[in-house]
Structure formats: C-alpha cells, structure tokens
Amino acid sequence: MSTNFFRTVQSSLRHSVYRPSHITPIRQFHTTLPRMTVHNILTADAFHTAVKENKVVLLDCFATWCGPCKAIAPLLANHSNDEQFKDIFFAKIDVDELPELSQELGITSMPTFMIFKDGEQQDKLIGANPGALVALLKKSIAA
C-alpha cells in the first residue's frame, strides 16, 4: 500500500476522532452589539439636530491624522458602553471634513471634547487625557 493511502486514512481518522461531525466546533465566537456607540456626525445639520434632540451630548472633535485622537478613541468607545454614562449621547466629528462647524465651535487643537446640555455648550476639554475625560463625563451627569 502506498503512503498516500495511509495519510488519507490517518487524516480522516483524525478528523472523525478529534472532531466528530455531530459536535460543534470547540471555538464559538459570539458578538454582542453594544448598547450605545459613538455616532459619527457627517454634516453640520446632523450635529445641530443631535444637540437639540439629546439632553447631554459629548462631542469628540478629532482628525484622522492625529495620533492622540487615535489613542483615546477606544477609551471613548468603552465609555459609551458604560452603564453610568447611558444618558450621554456620544458623537464625533472629523475637523477636516467639517471645517465650517469646527470654526463655529472654536476648535483650535485635537482632540477636543465638548459637553452640550440642553443645546448649550457647558464644558470643554482639550487633549487626550483619559482621567480628565472621565471627570468631564461624571461632571456632566452629576449636574
């Protein structure tokens, strides 16, 4: 008998013994959709609508080329899924895509985080400071 025959038998035995067809694979991946998310605002009208329709809005003003913006983005996404910040609408704008809105808001550096309450700007944080961001979020829900 040839060695190819033995390899074929050995391979089929290995698959049937180690992973029978009636048993599901060992690794099962489940994806859970986040309860909240960071919404990407694409137009100035969408921004104004979001500020009007939500009681508290956190706006992240970022640029795609900004290193600190990229570093803090996952932290912001985690905070958007945090139960204690469930009443905050998380939004972000690309300052290069919306230069008129960036100028209207007075954005001078990135990242800039702004809190809007009842349609009015309440607070502002410039820079990628995770501790200060958490303090800003907690301050916005406390008042």
Active-site residue numbers? 66, 69
How far is residue 56's CA from residue 143's CA, in Å, rounded to a whole number?
11
How far is residue 112's CA from residue 92's CA, in Å, rounded to a whole number?
10
| Token reading at 95 | 């300052």
In 3D space, the residue among 93, 94, 76 whose CA is nearest the CA of residue 137 turns out to be: 76
What is residue 111's DSSP assignment?
S
